[in-house]
Amino acid sequence: MSHEITYTPSNAFTRWLDERLPIMGLAHHMLEYPTPRNLNYWWTFGGILTFCLLTQIVTGIILVMHYTPHVDLAFNSVEHIMRDVNYGWLIRYVHANGASMFFLAVYIHMFRGLYYGSYKAPREVLWILGVIIYLLMMAAAFMGYVLPWGQMSFWGATVITNLFGAIPLVGDAIREWLWGGFAVGNPTLQRFFSLHYLIPFIILGVVVLHIWALHVPGNNNPLGISVKDEQDTVSFHPYMTVKDALGLTVFLLLFAYFVFYNPNVLGHADNYIEADPLQTPPHIVPEWYLLPFYAILRAITFDIGPIDSKLGGVIAMFGSIAILFVLPWLDTSKVRSARFRPLFRQFFFLFVVVCLGLGWAGGQSPDRTIFTSSEVIGTYESAGEADAAIAEAVSQTDATADMFKKHDVIEDGVYGVEVERVDYAFDVASLSLVLTILYFAYFLILLPLLGLIEKTKPLPESISKAVLAEKDA
Amino acid sequence: MKNEALNQAARPCVFTRLSRVAPYIATAAITALGMMFLASVPAKAAGNVELKHAEWSFDAPFGTFDRSQLRRGYKVYKEVCAACHSMNLVNFRNLAQEGGPEFSEAQVKALAAEYEIEDGPDEYGDMFMRAREPKDPMPAPFANENAARASNGGAYPPDFSVIVKARSGGADYIYSLLTGYEEPPQGFPMSPGMNYNAYFGGHQIAMANPLFDEIVEYEDGTPMTVDQYARDVAAFLTWASEPKLEARHQMGFQVMVFLAVLAGLLYFAGRKLWADKH
């Protein structure tokens, strides 16, 4: 339902302004905007996200006043902010943890949309604009992480830009174009800085469109049924502003905990080591909010026809985001809210577990075993003796050399090399593959199918009736 | 159009019904537990060995640095570590700042004046040496990385300005490493010139055991043991990495109290506002 603007200018100045630019009418609409009366606290994350975006922009603008985007100066300029700029530590920790809080809020916001079917007609454009914002956020966050020019900045940038090298024919050219040279270097840092400053303002623009696309059909709600008349709604102000303010304040308590008491726990210690192109860190991992996609990227360890494993991983990773754009047409159910979709509801929670599992897998070394069927064949005094034992085992049995693993062991002050024959191992890479398949299956198989076979519960007649019925119960 | 039933309802709304807030409380609890798990996973060194944990005065939410410990730690750094490790981002003036070792201005002036620095060019265009002042950085032991490697068997002693933030485990890692020198296990394949350390990744570290009992003279009666030296220097390096830690903890408390009170006010305001709407 579209909402008529009912603003009438009350004095000569506002009448004059309204004829030229009806901005007062717009503000009036924003405050009067009818929202379903049954919105719960999951709906406060839109406001929280707006706050996060503005916080990042304001703190970012101040940081830029003191930061120097140059490979020789960037690392120390960040520490200069931490040490010598008045409240620089506060501004930088808010900005760095703000990125994490932004993603925490956006994930809750997106899962809320998935649960209550907020992506379905007539809100497809609203959802797609949201996915565009999410993509832009990932680009901004990735480039922002490069700016302190620590080890993870440098090597993260190297890994991600190398992904583009997997594209057939033009990959190498694109990669050099991104780098501005033949490796990640000063031109890369400077263009990432430029784009990192630009993208938030593009996000701001798309957020305006996102809110516009929200105000045309109006909010979805926990029941997923459309608003019928005035009894179903309350005006945005003061009802929702108070609710949003409470949600935001509780969210800020968590935000403040990280900023003031644990500001570096969400980052990686290696990023406090200045970038060194000659020294690769043992584990290159992205920030926590990109880990699920990193797991999908690494899940494809085999060639599929003409597509090699590297390109396969890149396609899977971008596909996992691209699929969100067509989600409104993959879900065939007419019922929006999971409250009335008993089967969907269970699968939704499984999907959340799959996403969390991908996040965990993305942070682990791919060859870490989860469960294994193996046998220790012996412990030897040195690596050489262990190799000899492996060679002997290979010659006598049908085991191959790559089935054997060596570990250093120290027991009671004596060093030894333990040799293990691994008959079967389910490692993080295999888990990532299983979870990646489940991720895609949710969108490509489950959602189209569920809408056809699921028996949904009866929908209430209207929002106000449902609210009253709940009161009587 | 007014609906009497709705207006009379005056029923406790979202704000009071536990069943409705339960999912949020559950989510908040899961998030909090997850975060605590993240924060409390015993820090592991690269070799996957669990670190020793010391009680640090600066750990708790109200934690502050122990001034005398920072001063002792500085002494250990200055007399032992500084022979190989620079601290390029720390200036002498920082030693007098609030929330640090808080030496007096005069003490800092005297500490700085022990070292020289190249300055210039003077009015004739020549560079000259002068005594360091509080505004100057701490002296670096080597002119550049190559010089440092040449003097240390090819290994590069890292700069200590942010070392506690740059190692997972932080102060516990520094403390464990400095007290982790042992005889290598029988049969352990040591490379020449390396030293066995229980907490270093791969157990082979180029740095020889730097601390011995009574190597640094303490004047305040604190035991002059390796364990105490390691604790003191780890605390000092934590301050060097996070010189604004005390201000951060203090502001954090104020912000948390403010937010908690604000949340309470909003809760009751909302409850009153929504009373006739649900």
Selection from A154, A200, A208 nearest residue A61 by Cα: A200
DSSP assignment of A320-377 equals HHHHHHTHHHH---S---GGG-HHHHHHHHHHHHHHHHHHHHHHS-TT-EEEEEEEEE
C-alpha radius of gyration, chain A, whole number: 27
Q: CB B165 to CB A269 under 8 A?
A: yes
Chain B nearest CA to A230, separation (Å): 8
Residues in chain A with CB shorter than 8 Å from the CB of B166 are 269-270, 272-273
Residue of B19, B248, B265, B272 for testing the chain A interface, max A β-carbons within 10 Å: B248
Residues in chain A with CB shorter than 8 Å from the CB of B21 are 41
Residues in chain B with CB shorter than 8 Å from the CB of A238 are 273
| 10-residue averages of pLDDT along chain A (473 residues) | 71 93 91 94 97 98 98 97 97 98 97 97 97 98 97 96 92 95 96 98 98 96 94 94 96 96 94 95 92 95 91 96 98 96 96 96 89 88 89 87 86 88 90 97 97 95 89 74
Q: CB A256 to CB B256 under 8 A?
A: yes
- The partner residue sitting opposite A230, judged by closest CB among B1, B162, B251, is B1
Chain B nearest CA to A223, separation (Å): 14
The SS3 assignment for A143 reads helix
Could you give the residue ranges of the DSSP H alpha helices within A262-341?
A: 291-299, 309-325, 327-330
Chain B nearest CA to A12, separation (Å): 32
- The partner residue sitting opposite B252, judged by closest CB among A40, A234, A256, is A256
Q: CB B273 to CB A413 under 8 A?
A: no
Neighbouring C-beta atoms of residue A233, cutoff 10 Å: 24
Q: CB A415 to CB B185 under 8 A?
A: yes
**Element (H or E) spanning A256, and its range?**
helix A241-261
Q: CB B162 to CB A253 under 8 A?
A: no
CA distance A302 to A308: 7
- The reply to whether ipTM tops 0.90 is yes
| pLDDT 10s digits, A53-95 | 999 999 999 999 999 999 999 999 999 999 999 999 999 999 9
User: Which phi and psi angles does B126 have, rounded to 5°?
Assistant: -100, 145
| pLDDT 10s digits, B4-47 | 444 444 444 445 555 666 667 777 777 766 665 555 444 444 45
Residue of B15, B188, B200 for testing the chain A interface, max A β-carbons within 10 Å: B188
Q: A450-471 burial string, b = 16+ CB within 10 Å, else e?
A: bbeebebeebbebbbebbbeee
Q: CB A468 to CB B24 under 8 A?
A: no
- The partner residue sitting opposite A246, judged by closest CB among B183, B252, B266, is B266
CA distance B211 to A237: 66
**Element (H or E) spanning A164, and its range?**
helix A151-164
pLDDT band, very low/low/confident/very high, at B252 (cuts 50, 70, 90) = very high
Question: Would the pTM count as exceeding 0.80?
Answer: yes
Residues in chain B with CB shorter than 8 Å from the CB of A89 are 244, 247-248
Residues in chain A with CB shorter than 8 Å from the CB of B262 are 249
Q: CB B5 to CB A242 under 8 A?
A: no
Q: What is the pLDDT of residue A3?
A: 57
Q: What is the pLDDT of residue B278?
A: 62
Q: CB B252 to CB A89 under 8 A?
A: no
Q: CB B255 to CB A256 under 8 A?
A: yes
pLDDT band, very low/low/confident/very high, at B148 (cuts 50, 70, 90) = very high
CA distance A433 to A298: 8
Residue of A76, A409, A471, A472 for testing the chain B interface, max B β-carbons within 10 Å: A471
Chain B nearest CA to A8, separation (Å): 21
What residue of B is the nearest CA neighbor of A271? Answer: B166
Chain A nearest CA to B173, separation (Å): 12
Q: CB B166 to CB A270 under 8 A?
A: yes
Residues in chain A with CB shorter than 8 Å from the CB of B14 are 40-41, 243
Of the two residues B35 and B151, the one the predictor is more confident about is B151
Chain A nearest CA to B43, separation (Å): 11
What residue of A is the nearest CA neighbor of B21? Answer: A41
DSSP assignment of chain B equals ---HHHHHT----TTT-HHHHHHHHHHHHHHHHHHHHHHHSPPB-TT-PBPP----TTSSTT----HHHHHHHHHHHHHTGGGT---TT-BGGGGGSTTTT---HHHHHHHHHTSEEEE---TTS--EEEE--TTSBPPPSSSSHHHHHHHTTT--PPP-TTTTTTSTTHHHHHHHHHT-B-PPPBT--PPTT-EEBTTSGGGEESS-----TTSS--SS-----HHHHHHHHHHHHHHHH-TTHHHHHHHHHHHHHHHHHHHHHHHHHHHHHHTTT-
Question: How many contacts, defined by CB atoms under 8 Å, are there between A and B?
Answer: 130
What residue of A is the nearest CA neighbor of B160? Answer: A273
The SS3 assignment for A45 reads helix
